[in-house]
Amino acid sequence: MQTDIEQKCKQILIDEGIDVASTIDFEVNEKVHTLSFAYIIETFMSASQESKLVFYEALKKSVDAKDMGVDRFFEGMGQLLLMTHLSKKIEL
């Protein structure tokens, strides 16, 4: 079930003419990881209510700041998710 904030995030993409299923490839140690915009949104929506609102507000600002753009926003958020995920797999 989608949250209200999640739906608003996806609507921003729709309004900007961006496919929610768009993907970004990240290469880490010669291995390619592909994340969709929908996956990035859904993952951030599993965080606290405050974090959801921060993500939503940042996404709105990325649309307003034409030089940064939505693609760059999702690149940054995807990198954050990927690095967080990979760091949890590292054994010390």
Overall residue count recorded for the chain in this entry: 92
Query: In terms of residue numbers, what domain contains 76?
Result: 4-89
Helix (H) or strand (E) holding 31: strand 31-36
Averaged pLDDT for residues 5-19:
94
Q: Which residues of 70-80 are buried (b: 16+ CB within 10 A; e: fewer)?
A: beebbeebbee
Helix H or strand E encompassing 51? helix 49-64
* pLDDT, tens digit (0-9, with 9 covering 90-100), for 24-60: 999 888 889 999 999 999 999 998 999 999 999 999 9
Report the domain count for the chain: 1
First CA to last CA distance, the chain: 37
Q: pLDDT value at position 67?
A: 64
**Under 8 Å between Cβ of 73 and 62:** yes
The per-residue pLDDT for 28 is 81
Q: Residues 77, 82, 45, 71: what is their CA dihedral angle, to the nearest 10 degrees? A: 30
Residue 69 predicted with pLDDT over 50: yes
